[in-house]
Chains A and B, each alone.
Chain A
């Protein structure tokens, strides 16, 4: 059982997301994260899904996804050389003084940006893979994380290979 990153190319039509997520819930597959957006092809969208399962379960998920008429292609990027990113916005307690300075220092180590400063809090924006964001969140917790918003993971293959050209 390990996380798999699935890239699902779909028709950009109403109800497609519901068809995809409905399939996961009714067949008892769990979604760890989900990200949806338009892609390079007009009229198509790409859904990136991270889900956990053994090989047989993931194979069944992919086959079931492929059966949906609006799904054009399903690829498992897990075994491929790829880059993954997710974005998090984190609102942290930051009273003026030493803690604020520490937070800014952490932000710079993690290449996070401070995108809003309030009198008693700051908002950090950080992009990276899941582990990096988890690490920053953990460090920030001592100051008090007031709110955390994360996108799902998105992924792309390294080099000139594309998901469409890959098997």
Chain B
């Protein structure tokens, strides 16, 4: 005889889970009691939101399913932002929540909330398990759904009596999950692939537009092979950074609102856009009518609903990025010379490089460049959301996939620090940096407790400008410098870190940056760096909201 809690823990182990992030409470006591004896490592966070973000960071860094656990009511509700973050960026996590006993369901019982109802729009699927007998296959299905197709979060809600009830149960030796309403397409349609290759022969100015789908399907190698064999330039979205090495001659960096000028110009002049694992998000396209308006579009995505959602597509290919790219490479018969186009791009790159003022003041871009130089593309870089995120995306030279972890779709401030904890457990040998702003860092600053407790060697680099910088930037540019509620009073983050038993350092002079970063890297445990940066530095270049992406402002100052 086994309790539901035991069946759950066994199920997690069978799915290969080693680490989970959680916070205990009343109705999950039976599960925590089972964890007490198990080989699973449970990391006690200081707020449930951090558990969800840590599971997400773990998943992005490893490519495996991340797991978080919270109690009913407030515990479950605190996971919501983390689940929504994972949903928007297609990250596979399984969120486990306790629930009041089945006989109290719908009764407004203590710490009851309808978490399956609440998370319906932000999960790929969710379950309210009402019978212990169903639990075994629900766990299997949940992991299957989370990691296959377009990945995403799945929530399992477990009433207390379902966890405590004892039943006769053994997991079957092998059991294939089969769901008649869920059959993702992995292989692209061969006729469409041939059509795509024909368009490449017709094209003069092709461009690969690459997103997070290439990272999540582990297709970076195939992308590089495809791009190199046909000599097609590549631009990536925020989520696609790392899919191609930053210093690769075909790489144009990021496109969109804070993309490089040359990437945005290339999109605008391109006559064939090969979009893979992207969703034509508004932060990428700017004014939709003018986005790649001269181009035919090939769109490869595992989610058919993304194809044609925002932009009319000439060749739709539903399939997994890795599988489709392999197939495309295999079917290449003719090649075309795009040298004229590549020369034009080289000229743009020369004429409009990424620049920032170098006047002796402490600039955030310089800090990121220094970190990039020190790490040489190694390590895992996590960011918060806002200016810190954009500067990192622009100035850190990513070389490999899954080394850049950021909340793209939802744009969740407070994501980075807990996600960095998760990334450490996924890849304990890597240096993990959280690039933060003073605003974002204070959204989950309580996780200094977790980091200190387990000596998680996460390095936090706070780009401290005592502003909610990105909002301030918009106020400066579009609201006549009326800084409405965006100024923050100074915080001594080194003292805060010290109070948790964590070392830290304040940096005010550019000449101290490299030594400070090195000190953080060389410290065994966690470390907090408080960089007092130029307060009103902006993220440039920038496409104003609603403008065409080639109408960029700033970023070309001397």
A interface, CB within 8 angstroms of B: 10-11, 14-15, 18-19, 22-23, 26, 56, 59-60, 63-64, 66-72
Give residues 271-327 of B contacting A (CB, 8 Å): 303-305, 308-309
Which of these binds chain A: B30-38, B178-186, B487-495?
A: B178-186
Q: Tell me, rounded to whole Å, the shortest Cβ–Cβ distance linking B184 to chain A.
A: 10
The answer to whether B308 and A59 have CB atoms under 8 Å apart is yes
By the criterion CB–CB under 8 Å, are A69 and B117 in contact?
no
Which among B128, B182, B303 has the highest number of chain A CB atoms within 10 Å? B182
Residues in A with CB closer than 8 Å to B182 are 69
Bound: A69/B124 CA distance, A: 8
**In the bound complex, do residue B181 and residue A72 qualify as a contact, i.e. CB atoms below 8 Å apart?**
yes
Please give, as numbers and ranges, the residues of chain B lying within 8 Å of A71 by CB-CB distance. 181
Does B121 sit at the interface, judged by CB under 8 A? yes
Alpha-carbon distance A26/B179, docked complex (angstroms): 25
Report whether A60 and B305 are in contact in the complex, using a CB–CB cutoff of 8 Å.
yes
- Tell me the nearest residue of chain B to A41, going by C-beta: B180
Residue of B nearest to A56 (CB): B308
Q: Which size bracket describes the interface of B in this complex?
A: 10 to 19
Nearest 9 CB-CB pairings of A with B: A63-B305, A72-B181, A69-B125, A69-B182, A71-B181, A63-B304, A26-B121, A72-B180, A64-B305
Partner of A18, one of B120, B124, B125, B303: B120
Interface residues, chain B, with chain A CB atoms under 8 Å away: 116-117, 120-121, 124-125, 128, 145, 179-182, 303-305, 308-309
Contact A66 B145 (CB under 8 A): no
State A11–B121 Cα separation when bound (angstroms): 18
Q: Please name 18 pairs of A and B residues whose Cβ atoms are closer than 8 Å in the assembled complex, sorted by A.
A: A10-B181, A11-B181, A15-B116, A15-B128, A22-B120, A22-B121, A23-B121, A26-B121, A59-B308, A60-B308, A63-B304, A64-B305, A66-B304, A67-B303, A68-B125, A69-B125, A69-B145, A70-B181
Assuming the contacts A72-B180, A72-B181, asked whether A67 and B120 have C-beta atoms less than 8 A apart, the reply is no
Q: Roughly how many angstroms separate A15 CA and B117 CA in the complex, as a whole number?
A: 9
Nearest chain B residue, comparing its CB with the CB of A64? B305
Chain A interface helix/strand/loop/mixed: helix
Option from B181, B303, B304, B305 in Cβ contact (under 8 Å) with A69: B181
Min C-beta distance of A66 to chain B, whole Å: 7
Q: Tell me, in angstroms, the Cα distance from A59 to B410 when the chains sit together.
A: 25
Give the complex CA separation of A123 and B117 in angstroms.
39
Known: A15-B116, A66-B305. 6 other contacts (CB 8 A): A14-B128, A56-B308, A60-B305, A64-B305, A68-B181, A69-B124
Cα A23 to Cα B125 in complex, Å, equals 13
Q: How far is the CA of A22 from the CA of B125 in the complex (A)?
A: 13
Contact A69 B308 (CB under 8 A): no
Smallest Cβ distance from B150 to chain A, in angstroms? 8
Residues of B within 8 A of A69 (CB): 124-125, 145, 179, 181-182
Complex: how many Å from CA A10 to CA B120? 16
Instruction: Give min CB distance, B157 to chain A, whole Å.
Output: 11
Q: Smallest distance from the beta carbon of B302 to chain A beta carbons, Å?
A: 11
In angstroms, Cα B253 to Cα A95, docked, is 80
Residue of B with least CB distance to A59: B308
Nearest Cβ on chain B to A43's Cβ, whole angstroms: 10
A126 to chain B minimum Cβ distance, whole angstroms, is: 35
Closest chain B residue to A62, Cβ basis: B305
Check if B117 sits within 8 Å of A18, measured CB to CB. Answer: yes
A26 to B121, CA, bound (A): 8
Residue of B nearest to A67 (CB): B305
| B305 cross-chain contacts in A, Cβ below 8 A | 60, 63-64, 66-67
Query: Which residues of A are found within 8 Å of B120, using beta-carbon distances?
Result: 15, 18-19, 22
Q: For residue A68, which residues in chain B have a CB less than 8 angstroms away from its CB? A: 125, 181
**A10, A26, A71, A72: most-surrounded residue (chain B CB, <10 A):** A72
Give bound CA distance, A66 to B124, whole Å. 12
B181 near A60 (CB under 8 angstroms)?
A: no
Contacts of A66 in B (CB 8 A): 304-305
CA distance A23 to B308 in the complex (A): 18
State how many angstroms separate the Cβ of B99 from the closest Cβ of chain A: 14
Contacts of B180 in A (CB 8 A): 11, 72
Docked Cα-Cα span, A36 to B303, in Å, equals 27
CA distance A41 to B179 in the complex (A): 16
Query: Which A residues are CB-close (under 8 A) to B117?
Result: 18
* CA A26 to CA B125, docked complex, whole Å: 16
A86 to chain B, nearest CB (A): 27
| Complex-state Cα separation, A64 to B125, whole angstroms | 13
CB neighbours (8 Å) of A63 from chain B are: 304-305
Closest residue of A by beta carbon distance from B179: A69
Whose C-beta in chain B lies nearest to the C-beta of A61? B305
Interface centre among B121, B124, B128 (most CB of A within 10 A): B121
Contact partners of A67 in chain B: CB under 8 A? 303, 305
User: Which of A10, A56, A60, A69 has the most chain B CB atoms closer than 10 A to its own CB?
Assistant: A69
A11's nearest neighbour on chain B, judged by CB, is B181
The CA-CA distance from A66 to B304 in the complex, in Å, is: 9
* Minimum C-beta distance from B180 to chain A (A): 5
Which B residue sits closest to A23, measured CB to CB? B121
Cα distance A60–B307 in the bound complex, in angstroms = 9
Tell me the bound Cα distance from A119 to B117 in angstroms.
47
Residues of chain A within 8 A (CB-CB) of B179 are: 69
Question: Shortest beta-carbon distance, A31 to chain B, in Å?
Answer: 16
Query: In the complex, which residue of chain B has the Cβ closest to the Cβ of A71?
Result: B181
B181 to chain A, nearest CB (A): 4
Q: How many angstroms from the CA of A22 to the CA of B182 in the assembled complex? A: 19
A137 vs chain B, min Cβ distance (A): 36
For the complex, what is the distance from the CA of A60 to the CA of B309, rounded to whole Å? Answer: 7
The residue on A at minimum CB distance from B124 is: A69
B400 to chain A, nearest CB (A): 31
Instruction: Report the separation of the CA atoms of residues A22 and B128 in the bound assembly, to the nearest whole angstrom.
Output: 17
> Which residues on B sit within 8 Å (CB–CB) of A70?
181
CA distance A70 to B179 in the complex (A): 9
Q: Which residues of A contact B308 (CB under 8 A)?
A: 56, 59-60
CB distance from B143 to the nearest CB of A (A): 13
CA distance A18 to B126 in the complex (A): 13
Minimum CB–CB distance for A6 against chain B, Å:
15
CA distance A14 to B180 in the complex (A): 17
A22–B179 CA distance with the chains assembled, in angstroms: 22
A59 to B88, CA, bound (A): 21
- CA distance in complex: A127, B120 (Å): 36
A9: nearest residue on chain B (CB-CB)?
B181
Closest to A68 in B: B181
Chain B's nearest CB lies how many Å from the CB of A25? 9
Q: Which residues of B contact A26 (CB under 8 A)?
A: 121
- Distance A105 CA – B309 CA, assembled complex (angstroms): 52
